[in-house]
Structure 1
Amino acid sequence: MSKSKSLSLLTFFLVLVFSLAACSSGNNNNGAAETTPASQSATAEAPVSSEPSASEVAPAEETYDLGGREIVISHWWDDTPNADTPAGEERLKRISEVEKKYNVKIKYVNTDWDTYAEKITTSVMAGAPLADIVYIPSNTPQTLIKGGYIVPLDDYMNVQEETKLSDEIIKAASYGTGKTYGFLTAPPLFDNKGLLYNKRIFEESGLPTPEEDIKNGTWNWDTFVDVLKKLTISKSGSGEIDQWGLTGSAHSVGTPLIYANGGSLYDETTQKVVADSPEVIEALEFQNKLYNEYKVFKRDEGNDWEDPARYFTEGKVAFYPTGIFEIEPRFLANMKDGYGFVPWPNGPKAKSADFVMGLNQMHVYAIPRGVEDPKTVYKIWEDLQNFDTIDEDNRTLAESYFSDEDSVNEAMNTFKIAKYELISGFGIEEAMGQLYRDVVDGKVTPAAGIAQVLPTMQASTDKIVKGN
């Protein structure tokens, strides 16, 4: 045995003796002296190095050099972050890190909603995509996919293994193709929907709030009608109605009533439009009664987008059907009265006691055909996101929109009650939108109206889904 090896053994035995002596000395330090880290359990034959092994060393982050290229990201609003807010500061910091990592410059552009799809297609056809990454409205992905205007991530990477996308997003953004064309960190809170209610009106009426009805298990159409009737009054005493129960566009009321009654407009499995189901017919009949029999509805004055929101802001209406994206620009700073947020009440044919929020497919990001280095471009987008704080960010947003905990919780709960139907771009929404108006205007009955438009909706759906 070599001299050095003899010394090693001697050292080991001395350490062992002193260790045993320490253990038997009665030292009670919450067991600290009885526990030896694995990294210190050395043997004379195989001493453990103090240097970390190759497997323990974190790999250096991969860097890229795109030569200062400008990466353009398009929305239908200006998404350039503002340093005036903590969230804006955080985004700007992240952008700076990404720009350094990839040697690029990030630029956000605002593309008009009305011409968005057209600009995507024409720019791709011209060989100069309008942006490297486009945020696509929910009514256009399938048309763009059929036309070959956006590329699937699967052509450039293993989506399951090489991205942070959830299974939910991968499935939803495949549109039945088996390939992932769109991407998103998660369904966004601002796309979700429900009902706003005026707190002052409820306080003055002495009625239970919708939130109380939810907790009591009585938030249904019967309760809804009763409340709407009691809140549609002449406050002045002149006999002329000056406070109404409900307002909104015909579309913003008709569609959520269908989902709240357990209905659907499209069966993805059979690829059939199912707007003639009993659930849908009953929902349209109920909508007609709200307008014409119960007379609890404040109609617009020619602008079904601006007028209803104005009525609610002015405190003339108890309920307003809202998209959460409307809260900040329309009500947060403009409304004197407090407001709460709840889901639509269940109809008599609801499939369960759970509420349902019907949504079209999500708006998603995509990469247009012709963009250079699509895999790297996707990775740039991914690095710009914070996947670890999605729930926290959504709750922070909800807390900035609503002043009470119940409304915040109801807003967050929209993710659990969401029902997505892949109907955007099929022509179904457009046909139903006109039908809602015709029904509430008394031009047609729900059953007769559905029978008239069903063949057109099915034909337009087949054109997209089956590529006819």
Structure 2
Amino acid sequence: MKKSRLVVGATCAALVGALALTACSSDGGGGDDGSKKITFMFRGGPDEKKAYEAAIDKYTEATGVDVEMIVTDADQYATKLQAAVAGNNVPDVFYIEQASLQSYVASGVLLDITDQVEASDVDLDNLWEYGVDSYRFDGTLQGTPEGRLYGLPKDIGPFSFGYNKTMLEAAGIPLPDKDTPLTWEQFVEICKQLTTDTDGDGAVDQWGTGLNVQWNLQSMVWSNGADFIDADRTTVTVDTPEFADALQKFADLTTVDAVTPSASDAATLDTYQRWMAGEIGFFPVGPWDVSVYNDLDFDYDLIPWPTVGDGGTATWVGSLGIGVSATSKHPDEAVELVTYLSADAQAQQTLVDANIQVPNLIDVATDWAQAADAEPANRQEFLDIAQDYGRAMPAAFTYGAAWYDELWTNIQPVLDGKQTAADYLADVQPRMQALLDESIANAEQAFAGR
């Protein structure tokens, strides 16, 4: 699965140094006739750019405020925003990732928009609570309802689980229930039935699944009652039997169960490409995938993630936020643009029609999920994740993600069956803890003078 396709905000280390430089000024201005102009920097593909053009045209028509859009590819956004910060040219309005919010606040780059939002007609109760709280910070903890608002959600990204309906039907396998998650044993058994040589040349060319450890292990860990970090976000908790069991089962999909493409198979085509080609039975689906997946040559749908233990089905929810430069020359208009893009029903409909996100507005999302022509049919699964059981990524609300990234650095021997999960986790936990301790100390230092 391609990391660049995931709107997760897991790391922002490259930005931290740049953001510490200064609280930079925006060059937003206007014309000699008193007109106002603000800049909006975001990342996305052609579909997202086209949708924003339509939404912002309506905003300009209604307010008279001209908006210059600065759009980048997802992989270039962090670098270009870093350059804008370092060059004292912060856009008036820009995308913020969950994991970078505290650095922006500490360095004075982000405007506290709490008072403006509360004075507006935005109904925060009609926005997903997880999305709004992601951009709250109380000076110690991010993501709590008591925090001040430093942005509003551009979207939420419930990371769902999909299956190739056409493949299962062709194999005569009953379709999974859309409400009851498969047990791990049931999931593996179906994957074994799907893994086969379809053209008779002696080589497997269809697999049950093809998961990526960095983006899919979370579901297994959480459903097995384990976690990456404690509730206070001060202790790394990967060295438990439940965590080891989940990681070992993940590795076993390849080395024992043989239901995923081998390393050599993946070198030819990665699992994302094989899913797109109809060669994989089960694969994750994010809202950002829908516009592409709906045009595939097979039918697919969504189900709850399989459960490893007794923790219930679990997965993560990503989010991108939209914030305002603390030194924008037009802060009121910038905040108005943020509230418009995040919470205006017409603007949201423009973005939703482009099949690039789940609606931010709960009432709009409910109608969207229940539409007779919904693709995929079980869109409700996205909403169940958003409202009921989705969680933030482990490093989404910590000051930097180096502690979390360390888990993946030397994990390959486990995936290759050359090291047990338990041994690896016992070895990596102290290194992760040291990095988390460092990040906590850095946060304390960053906020000491505020």
Q: Does the alignment reach a TM-score above 0.5?
A: yes
Kindly tell me: are residues 151 and 279 of structure 1, through their superposed partners in 2, closer, same or farther at Cα, counting changes over 3 Å?
Answer: farther
Instruction: Kindly indicate whether structure 1 or structure 2 has the higher relative contact order, using CA contacts under 8 Å at least 6 residues apart.
Output: 2
Equivalent position to 1:381, from 338, 351, 356: 338
Structure 2 matches for 1:89-238, cutoff 5 A?
91=55, 94-100=58-64, 104-129=65-90, 131-154=91-114, 157=115, 160-162=118-120, 164=122, 165-166=124-125, 168-177=130-139, 178-184=147-153, 187-188=155-156, 191-211=157-177, 214-215=178-179, 217=180, 219-238=182-201
Contact 2:152-2:338 within 8 A present in 1 as well: no
Contact 1:248-1:304 within 8 A present in 2 as well: no
| TM-score using structure 1 length | 0.71
Contact 2:43-2:71 within 8 A present in 1 as well: yes
Kindly tell me: are residues 357 and 368 of structure 1, through their superposed partners in 2, closer, same or farther at Cα, counting changes over 3 Å?
Answer: same
Larger deviation, residues 261-270 vs 428-437:
428-437
Counterpart-to-counterpart distance in 2, 1:449 and 1:392? 46
| TM-score using structure 2 length | 0.74
Contact 1:81-1:92 within 8 A present in 2 as well: no
Residues 351-397 of structure 1: per-residue CA shift (max 9 Å, x gap): x4xx222235x321122342224244212321344445723544676
Contact 2:317-2:386 within 8 A present in 1 as well: no
Structure 2 matches for 1:34-49, cutoff 5 A?
none
Q: Is residue 74 from structure 1 mapped to residue 41 from structure 2 by the alignment? A: yes
Counterpart-to-counterpart distance in 2, 1:396 and 1:88? 24
Residue aligning to 2:294: 332
2:339 alignment partner, SS class: helix
Structure 2 matches for 1:353-364, cutoff 5 A?
355-359=313-317, 362-364=319-321
Residue aligning to 1:464: 439
Residue aligning to 2:273: 310
Kindly tell me: are residues 393 and 158 of structure 1, through their superposed partners in 2, closer, same or farther at Cα, counting changes over 3 Å?
Answer: closer
Equivalent position to 2:385, from 405, 414, 418: 414
CA shift at 1:310, angstroms?
1.6
The one-letter code matched in structure 1 to 2:391 is K
Larger deviation, residues 91-100 vs 249-258:
91-100
Contact 2:109-2:326 within 8 A present in 1 as well: yes
Counterpart-to-counterpart distance in 2, 1:108 and 1:267? 40
Kindly tell me: are residues 108 and 268 of structure 1, through their superposed partners in 2, closer, same or farther at Cα, counting changes over 3 Å?
Answer: farther
Counterpart-to-counterpart distance in 2, 1:393 and 1:381? 18
Kindly tell me: are residues 254 and 169 of structure 1, through their superposed partners in 2, closer, same or farther at Cα, counting changes over 3 Å?
Answer: closer
Structure 2 matches for 1:417-436, cutoff 5 A?
417-421=389-393, 423-424=395-396, 425-436=400-411
Counterpart-to-counterpart distance in 1, 2:340 and 2:439? 33
Contact 2:182-2:306 within 8 A present in 1 as well: yes
Kindly tell me: are residues 281 and 82 of structure 1, through their superposed partners in 2, closer, same or farther at Cα, counting changes over 3 Å?
Answer: closer
Kindly tell me: are residues 195 and 292 of structure 1, through their superposed partners in 2, closer, same or farther at Cα, counting changes over 3 Å?
Answer: same
Contact 1:265-1:274 within 8 A present in 2 as well: yes
CA shift at 1:286, angstroms?
0.7
Residue aligning to 1:262: 225
Residue aligning to 1:244: 207
Counterpart-to-counterpart distance in 1, 2:138 and 2:280? 42
Counterpart-to-counterpart distance in 1, 2:56 and 2:35? 18
Number of aligned residues: 382
Kindly tell me: are residues 396 and 82 of structure 1, through their superposed partners in 2, closer, same or farther at Cα, counting changes over 3 Å?
Answer: farther
Contact 1:95-1:384 within 8 A present in 2 as well: no
The one-letter code matched in structure 1 to 2:362 is D
Contact 1:327-1:401 within 8 A present in 2 as well: no
After superposition, the CA RMSD in angstroms is 3.3
Counterpart-to-counterpart distance in 2, 1:81 and 1:314? 24
2:392 alignment partner, SS class: strand
Counterpart-to-counterpart distance in 2, 1:240 and 1:121? 47
The one-letter code matched in structure 1 to 2:43 is W
Counterpart-to-counterpart distance in 1, 2:340 and 2:105? 25
CA shift at 1:245, angstroms?
0.4
Q: Percent identity?
A: 21
Counterpart-to-counterpart distance in 2, 1:374 and 1:422? 32
CA shift at 1:205, angstroms?
1.7
2:152 alignment partner, SS class: coil
Mark the runs of 5 or more structure 2 residues left unpaired by the alignment. Answer: 1-31, 140-146, 349-360, 446-450
Residue aligning to 1:286: 249
Contact 1:264-1:274 within 8 A present in 2 as well: yes
1:273 alignment partner, SS class: coil
Kindly tell me: are residues 402 and 283 of structure 1, through their superposed partners in 2, closer, same or farther at Cα, counting changes over 3 Å?
Answer: farther
